[in-house]
Amino acid sequence: MPKHCDMQINIDGQQIFLLKEKVMSKYCGKLKRILNHQKRCNVTKLGIRINNFPGGPDGFELVSRFCYNNGNIPITVANVPLLYCCAIYLGMAEGVFSNNLLQQTETFLDRISQWKWHDIIESLMNCEHVYAYADCYGLLERIIVGGVLPKINQTPNSSDVSFINSCSSPSSYSSPESTSGNKRFSSSSNKLANTPEKIRSTLPSKAWWFDDLATLPPKIIEKLFQFLGAYKTDNNNLVLTRFLLHYLRKATQKTRVVDCKNSSESEYAALAETAAYGVIFVGKETFSCRGLFWVIRIVSGFGLSKGCRTELERLIGGVLEQATLDDLLVSGHDMGVYYDVNLVIRLVKLFVDINGSDEGVSLQKLKRVGRLIDKYLKEISPDQNLKISKFLGVAECLPDIARDSFDGVYRAIDIYLESHPMITFEERSRLCRCLNYIKLSFEASKDLAKNPRIPPRIAMQALISQQSKIATLDYDETETPRKKNPYQLVLYKEGKRNSFSKEKKDMTLNMDKMQWKVVELEELCKEMNSKMVNRNALFNHARARSSPRLC
């Protein structure tokens, strides 16, 4: 150790500082106490190790410069968080030396109301490196409450309002736009609803401070919401909710894919849940169905608690009849499936549960959702990772009354079979169980009967159900016109009769072919089973002869 240095300090095991005891102990109360204790205990080697020092070696180097410069160092908005935390940690208070480092940083922070907006943001950004100490020493609260909130409440733009006092003022803002540009929230407040479309389009999609605060790390934003009393279930502020959605969307764009499975809890999870509860609070009165789907796309990737997700999905399920196919195409996060099929199944079940009591209105809603789900089935059918159980889960989550026709379901099954040629005969039969043959059109039934991918017995069942339907149609069409206009009877009756006779002949021929196919398949199965039995018998007989007899 050099002669002018009589003390060494090891910071976090990363760097050793060789210093003068007299200089450092003059300003640092904690070092002075440690050195006095070592002397009382007759410790010959004056070495001190400090772990978890604020800012690590860089922080201690700043403190050393302050001490060696006779208690002077340039204090800026960038370094004041680090200097403040170091001063408290080392006990650099007035009791040790007048106008010490802590006093100087306190004086600097007292002028926070005079700081410029970008200075406040820069100072908060630098709190991230000493977050635990800044939070413990009250520095975060001091900057947020003394700097951030007053600046925002000054409302530089006439359309901005204080987000502390505007918990029920959704009309002051237009809805945030989605990433695609054509998806946006809708507001049903009286003020915005009565605003002409041209004027409404001029309202800002976000407050002036959104982008600036969006640069802050999630821990700082989480602390901001805690100070405001709008954290998780306590969030009832639309402006804060919109900011969080903006913030989370920015985070998604930065990271592309947020992986919450490799960690017990994502650092954004609490913020996503806070945003979700804010959306739940204002509900469908403020957010359209498309807006709610946009929200769930944003927050689901960060991980939500089961209770929060259920409430948000229930909100969407209540307005599912307003959804479009694009809304349902939410990216999947499980087992390589391209779309989140489980989400759609849950939403449809919630929709049926919510609308089940209102029979008059709900039937029309059910049919609307039924048509939507048929389109969704066709869209997801080519997915190679889509299991039959998931396909059936989507197809069967609605009651039969939701579909006037099952042609859409059949088309989706055909696409699935064409895209999955390797599935077994039993799996093909299982896939077709979601079909209601009576609600298949005659054209769909004929196509099904000729379809080589459909098991013969399934095709025969569909044709049998159509035969009884055509017999009824034949009777109705030939008998009913007699009451209306007898002069049109011959042409109408003969035309229909010839048409239905031809269709019945085609159907009978198709049924005969199908029955022969079924018989041939059954005979083939019996023959194969017989051969297997004889082979097993011969094998067992030979085995019995070659095996030793046991007494």
Q: Where are the alpha helices (DSSP H) in 28-116?
A: 29-40, 56-68, 80-89, 101-110
Long-range pairs for 138-143: beta carbons < 8 A, 24 or more residues apart: 139/81, 139/84, 139/85, 139/109, 140/220, 140/223, 141/223, 141/227, 142/109, 142/112, 143/109, 143/112
* pLDDT tens, residue by residue, 447-461: 998 899 999 888 888
Give the model's pLDDT for residue 244: 96
The amino acid present at 344, given as its one-letter code, is V
Q: Cα–chain-centroid distance for residue 455?
A: 39
Contact 73, 30 (CB under 8 A): no
CA atoms within 13 A on the CB side of 33: 8
- For residue 57, the tally of other CB atoms under 10 A from its CB is 15
CB 430 within 8 A of CB 393: no
Residues, the chain: 551
DSSP assigned state of 82 = H
Q: What whole-number distance in Å separates Cα of residue 145 and Cα of residue 138? A: 11
pTM value is 0.74
| Residue 145 confidence class, pLDDT cut points 50, 70, 90 | very high
What does the pLDDT read at residue 424? 92
User: Is 436 in a helix, a strand, or coil?
Assistant: coil
Backbone angles phi, psi at 183, to 5 degrees: -110, 125
Tell me the average pLDDT across 73-81.
97
pLDDT at 118 > cutoff 70: yes
The share of the chain scoring above pLDDT 90, in percent, equals 58
- For residue 550, pLDDT beyond 60: no
How big, in percent rounded to 5, are the helix, strand and coil portions of the chain?
65, 5, 30
Rounded distance between C-alpha atoms, residue 309 and residue 303, angstroms:
9
Give the whole-angstrom CA distance, residue 293 versus residue 339.
14
The neighbour count for residue 396, using CB atoms within 10 Å, is: 14
Say which range, 98-112, 134-148, 384-398, 517-531, has the weakest mean pLDDT: 517-531
Of 106-120, 181-195, 298-312, 439-453, give the lowest mean pLDDT range: 181-195
Range in 146-150, 189-193, 383-387 the model is least confident about: 189-193
Give the whole-angstrom CA distance, residue 270 versus residue 468: 60
> Residues 317-338: pLDDT tens digits?
999 999 999 999 998 766 567 8
Q: How does strand 7-11 pair with strand 15-19?
A: antiparallel
Q: What is the pLDDT of residue 500?
A: 46
Residue 531, pLDDT > 60, answer no
Place of tokens 């600097």: 108
**Cα dihedral 198→200→202→208 (10° resolution):** 180
pLDDT surpassing 50 at residue 463: yes
For residue 97, pLDDT over 80 is answered with yes
Q: Is 496 exposed, middle or buried (0-12, 13-18, 19+ CB in 10 A)?
A: middle
Residue pLDDT, tens place only, 167-220: 333 333 333 333 333 333 233 333 333 333 332 333 346 789 999 999 999 999
* Residue 257: partners with Cβ closer than 8 Å, 6 or more residues away: 301
Interhelix angle 341-355/306-317, nearest 10 degrees = 60
How high is the pLDDT of residue 338?
A: 87
Q: 220 with 254: CB under 8 angstroms?
A: no
Q: Is the dihedral of CA 37, 39, 43, 47 positive or negative?
A: positive
- Identify the residue with better confidence: 497 or 376: 376
Question: What's residue 551's pLDDT?
Answer: 32
* Res 29: pLDDT: 94
Name the average pLDDT for the chain. Answer: 79
* 3 state SS for 121-158: HHHHHHHHHHHHHHHHCCHHHHHHHHHHHHHHHCCCCC
Q: Could you tell me which of 419, 418, 498, 407 has the C-alpha nearest to residue 447?
A: 407
Q: Would you state the structure tokens that stand for residue 532, as one six-digit string?
A: 């297997």
* Number of C-beta neighbours around residue 437 at 10 A: 20
Q: H/E element holding 466?
A: helix 456-479
The predicted model gives 521-545 an average pLDDT of 49
Rounded CA separation 342/213 (Å): 35
| Sheet architecture: strand order including 47-50 | 15-19, 7-11, 47-50
Q: What is the pLDDT at residue 47?
A: 79
Gap between the Cα atoms of 252 and 255, Å rounded: 5
Least confident piece of the model among 156-165, 222-231, 296-305: 156-165
- Do 243 and 271 form a contact (C-beta atoms < 8 A)? no
Instruction: State the Cα–Cα distance between residues 474 and 484, nearest whole angstrom.
Output: 17
121, 208 contact by CB (below 8 A) = no
Q: What is the pLDDT of residue 481?
A: 44
Res 252: pLDDT? 85
Q: What pLDDT does 357 receive? A: 55
Q: Which of 339-353, 368-382, 461-475 has the lowest mean pLDDT?
A: 461-475
- Is the pLDDT reported for residue 128 higher than 90? yes
| pLDDT higher than 90, residue 293 | yes
Determine the pLDDT at residue 523. 56
Q: What integer pLDDT is reported at residue 181 of this predicted model?
A: 35
Query: How many Cα atoms sit within 13 Å of 17 on the Cβ side?
Result: 20
